[in-house]
């Protein structure tokens, strides 16, 4: 039994991830990509903290943004309060203050929310989330009203080890450090008595009580600790954007973090990190390309819930199991064969969505409209029929080739499980 | 006379208007193996739920080793050294066999809600969990998720979780229900082994198990105990035979 928190293999993977995170901005130098990476780092911490509740303790929270938002507000106010008295070193530590704010919120709100698990917990978090969001608009002195609270992360002219945190790429470095430290800490927590008992409470709260554990206390501690890490994520976002609005603690943000954790895979520690990467890229990249991105995101979420309820991480885990059993080679040609029909289907669907979107949101004027870099006459049948035809071909091919893949998939899986038992 | 392990006096439990437990008085001696039998619906499981505080009592008194435990929560009673199993298997389904047992020993070893100890470094927890795992014959299933064990294995794990904490008063609710004859024999041997020197109270339908294991037997009928005695005396008791009309204790 290894004495370290991380086994040697795991340590290698984690260090490679850290090195990769630091190396990325050396290759991808555009400001857009750096901002994207910053957002991914922040959301990774936020969604990992969320999964301490959903995945590890079995608590479905609809109000996790409260801790994130309060952490962000605490950080920005502290930044402004310290003002010229601080320096880059103090600024770098500010997310910790955000974490403490999240922790304090957890102590206060967790006391109320963790009395019951299940649906009751979900409903109370929803109520408290709404309450805090409403408060944020009632006290513009603290929450800045509609405009939010802004600050400046560059304090004075001095630097710390050459960093002023002014350029976004320096901020990115700071986010990577914090995100890595938080990830290690959250992983370490899963390897402690409390972390394991949280799993036990998730699986069977009644049994947990009959082995001596107060399930209420276990839930409470997990909410408090999860609030701490969510607060750190909020603090990082405050420093990164230099503005905190009421949006950071409302239901939309709570919803996004739930989706990220779910899409990534709540059954795996690293699932939410994958979710954070995927959803943030979709949000910013697809969001930059089309106004209909929320619709695509909704469809994607629906697809995941129906086809891979364990999230991306579960798909990866199955491939890994196949690979280890030497069965992955059997599936690879089928994956490759299915890619083309799926792409055709996607192209057709995107065409339909974009055409509908252009028609519904257009100004109604005659003449060609610009859809997907093409000049199309929306009120003629040609573009619609084309999109429909592509979709139809896509569906037919996907059903045909995808059906064969599914057949092979089931056979391979039964071989895998047959070997195991 | 020493303080009984469990003393129940005037215990009543109503569900709405219906009385399920209608005044039970019972002393369980320290170190004895005590079986509670009775027809279906007599309230045997309810009695267990009341002793272990899974259900609140309506009236009466329950003492555990001389200490009043009425009004305590299940985890508080467990910490006082009473552990129980369930009729319907009650384990941590997504955790491995080893993790199930380690969860069961953590509190008694004093790790409480620690988030500063590393589980892998807790030698005592590992050794105790492994000892129980070997005891219940699941050593080869160490890393198997409990949810995919066979039924008999899950029942064995259920007993393992119950005894792992080292509690000295053990309540087993139908430990052999649904088992084949061979499995039952193994389960009886297991129970005999792991409850050595402890107080055991069990609800059981299999009369072979009851008469094989128990030092004393109580017969619960319609929420009241009609007889408590040694197995041989219970067998000849007229009131008991009447309660079991149609079934014979001798040949079951």
Q: Give me A40's structure tokens.
A: 């991914």
What is the spatial distance between Cα A303 and Cα A402, in angstroms, rounded to a whole number? Answer: 15
A32-45: average pLDDT: 95
Q: Which residue has the higher pLDDT, A144 or A105?
A: A105
Q: What is the pLDDT of residues B6-37, one digit of tens each?
A: 999 999 999 999 999 999 999 999 999 999 99
For A83, A96, A220, the CA distances from A148, given in Å and listed in that order, are 18, 21, 31
Q: What is the mean pLDDT of chain A?
A: 89
What's the pLDDT at A205? 95
What is the spatial distance between Cα B75 and Cα A290, in angstroms, rounded to a whole number? Answer: 55
Which H/E stretch holds residue A398? helix A381-420
What's the pLDDT at A7? 75
Question: Are the beta carbons of B78 and A186 closer than 8 angstroms?
Answer: no
> Which residues of chain A make contact with B72, given a CB cutoff of 8 A?
none
Q: Which residue has the higher pLDDT, A54 or A153?
A: A54
A76-84: average pLDDT: 90
pLDDT at B208 over 70: yes
Cross-chain residue pair B118–A214, CB shorter than 8 Å: no
Q: Domains along chain A?
A: 8-295 (1.10.3470), 325-420 (no CATH)
The alpha helices in A204-310, defined as continuous H runs, are 205-209, 215-241, 251-264, 271-281, 287-289, 293-307
Cross-chain residue pair B102–A196, CB shorter than 8 Å: yes
pLDDT at A86 over 90: no
A216-230: average pLDDT: 97
Chain B touched by A7 (CB under 8 Å): no
End-to-end distance of chain B based on CA atoms, in angstroms? Answer: 36
The whole-angstrom distance between B191's CA and the closest CA on chain A is 19
A90-115: average pLDDT: 94
β-pair partners for B201: B34, B171
The rounded percent of chain A whose pLDDT value lies above 90 is 55
Chain A residue nearest residue B76, CA to CA = A212
Q: Which residue has the higher pLDDT, A159 or A216?
A: A216
Question: Are the beta carbons of A247 and B197 closer than 8 angstroms?
Answer: no
Q: What is the pLDDT of residues B58-77, one digit of tens each?
A: 999 999 999 999 999 999 99
The whole-angstrom distance between A209's CA and the closest CA on chain B is 5
What's the pLDDT at A327? 86
What's the pLDDT at B249? 55
What's the pLDDT at A394? 92
A71-92: average pLDDT: 89
Q: Give me B129's structure tokens.
A: 């969990």
Which H/E stretch holds residue B8? strand B6-15
The rounded percent of chain B whose pLDDT value lies above 90 is 79
A210 closest CB neighbour out of B84, B94, B114: B84
Which of A209-234 are b and which e, b meaning 16 or more Cβ less than 10 Å from the residue's Cβ? Answer: bbbbbbbbbbbbbbbbbbbbbbbbbb
A322-334: average pLDDT: 88
Q: Domains along chain B?
A: 6-243 (3.40.50.300)
> Which residues of chain A make contact with B118, given a CB cutoff of 8 A?
5, 188, 191-192
What's the pLDDT at B240? 86
Stretch 136-195 of chain B: residues touching chain A, C-beta under 8 Å: 161, 164-165
Phi-psi region for residue A202, left (φ > 0), alpha (ψ -120 to 50) or beta? Answer: alpha
β-pair partners for B19: B14
What's the pLDDT at B246? 53
The whole-angstrom distance between A374's CA and the closest CA on chain B is 52
Q: Give me A194's structure tokens.
A: 């409390």
> Which residues of chain A make contact with B115, given a CB cutoff of 8 A?
189, 192-195, 221, 225
What's the pLDDT at A21? 92
Stretch 202-221 of chain A: residues touching chain B, C-beta under 8 Å: 202-204, 206-215, 217-218, 221
Q: Give me B80's structure tokens.
A: 């006082």
Q: What is the pLDDT of residues B94-140, one digit of tens each?
A: 999 999 999 999 999 999 999 999 999 999 999 999 999 999 999 99
Question: Are the beta carbons of A217 and B107 closer than 8 angstroms?
Answer: no
Q: Which residue has the higher pLDDT, A44 or A372?
A: A44
What's the pLDDT at A292? 83
Mutate to test the interface with A, among B74, B95, B146 (most CBs of A within 10 A): B74
What's the pLDDT at A421? 46
What's the pLDDT at A260? 95
For A89, A245, B78, B161, the CA distances from A73, given in Å and listed in that order, are 20, 8, 44, 46
What is the band of A265 on the pLDDT scale with cuts at 50, 70, 90? very high
């Amino acid at each position: 039994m290894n004495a370290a928190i991380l086994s040697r293999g795991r340590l290698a993977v984690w260090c490679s991830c850290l090195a990769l995170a630091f190396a990325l901005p050396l290759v991808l130098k555009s400001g857009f990509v750096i901002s994207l990476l910053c957002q991914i780092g922040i959301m990774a911490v936020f969604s990992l903290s969320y999964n301490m509740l959903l995945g590890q303790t079995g608590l479905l929270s609809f109000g996790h943004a409260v801790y994130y938002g309060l952490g962000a507000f605490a950080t920005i106010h502290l930044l402004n309060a310290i003002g010229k008295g601080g320096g880059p070193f103090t600024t770098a530590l500010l997310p910790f203050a955000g974490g403490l704010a999240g922790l304090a919120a957890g102590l206060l709100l967790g006391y109320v929310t963790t009395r019951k698990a299940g649906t009751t917990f979900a409903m109370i978090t929803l109520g408290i989330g709404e309450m805090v969001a409403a408060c944020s608009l009632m006290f513009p002195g603290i929450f800045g009203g509609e405009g939010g609270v802004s600050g400046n992360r560059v304090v004075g002219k001095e630097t710390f080890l050459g960093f002023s945190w002014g350029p976004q790429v320096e901020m990115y470095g700071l986010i990577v450090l914090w995100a890595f430290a938080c990830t290690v800490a959250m992983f370490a927590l899963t390897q402690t008595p409390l972390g394991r008992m949280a799993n036990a409470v998730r699986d069977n709260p009644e049994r947990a009580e009959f082995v001596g554990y107060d399930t209420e206390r276990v839930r409470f501690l997990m909410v408090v600790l999860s609030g701490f890490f969510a607060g750190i994520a909020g603090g990082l976002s405050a420093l990164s954007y230099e503005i905190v609005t009421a949006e950071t603690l409302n239901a939309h943000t709570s919803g996004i973090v739930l989706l990220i954790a779910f899409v990534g895979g709540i059954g795996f520690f690293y699932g939410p990190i994958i979710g954070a990467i995927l959803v943030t890229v979709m949000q910013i990249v697809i969001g930059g390309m089309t106004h209909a991105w929320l619709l695509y995101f909704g469809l994607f979420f629906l697809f995941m819930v129906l086809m891979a309820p364990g999230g991306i991480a579960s798909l990866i885990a199955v491939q890994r199991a196949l690979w280890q059993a030497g069965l992955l080679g059997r599936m690879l040609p089928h994956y490759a064969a299915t890619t083309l029909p799926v792409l055709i289907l996607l192209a057709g669907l995107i065409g339909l969505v974009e055409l509908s979107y252009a028609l519904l949101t257009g100004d109604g004027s005659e003449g060609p409209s610009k859809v997907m870099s093409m000049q199309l006459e929306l009120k003629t049948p040609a573009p619609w029929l084309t999109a429909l035809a592509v979709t139809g071909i896509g569906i037919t091919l996907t059903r045909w080739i995808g059906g064969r893949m599914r057949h092979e998939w089931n056979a391979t899986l039964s071989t895998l499980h047959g070997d195991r038992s | 006379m020493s303080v009984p392990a469990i003393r129940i006096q005037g215990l009543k439990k109503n569900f709405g208007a219906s009385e399920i437990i209608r005044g039970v008085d019972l002393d369980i001696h320290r170190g004895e193996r005590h079986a509670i039998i009775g027809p279906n619906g007599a309230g045997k499981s309810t009695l267990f739920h009341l002793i272990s505080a899974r259900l609140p009592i309506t009236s009466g008194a329950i003492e555990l080793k001389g200490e009043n435990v009425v009004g305590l929560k299940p985890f508080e009673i467990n910490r006082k050294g009473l552990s129980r199993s369930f009729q319907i298997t009650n384990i941590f389904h997504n955790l491995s066999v080893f993790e199930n047992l380690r969860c069961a020993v953590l509190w008694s070893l004093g790790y409480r809600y620690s988030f500063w100890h590393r589980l892998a470094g807790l030698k005592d927890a590992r050794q105790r969990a492994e000892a129980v795992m070997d005891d219940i014959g699941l050593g080869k299933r160490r890393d198997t998720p409990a949810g995919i064990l066979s039924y008999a294995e899950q029942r064995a794990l259920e007993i393992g979780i119950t005894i792992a904490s080292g509690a000295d008063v053990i309540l087993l609710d139908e430990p052999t229900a649904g088992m084949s004859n061979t499995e039952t024999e193994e389960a009886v041997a297991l129970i005999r082994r792991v409850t050595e020197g402890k107080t055991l109270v069990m609800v059981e339908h299999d009369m072979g198990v009851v008469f094989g294991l128990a030092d004393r037997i109580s017969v619960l009928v319609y929420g009241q105990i009609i007889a408590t005695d040694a197995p041989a005396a219970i067998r000849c008791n007229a009131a008991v035979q009447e309660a079991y009309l149609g079934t014979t204790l001798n040949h079951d």
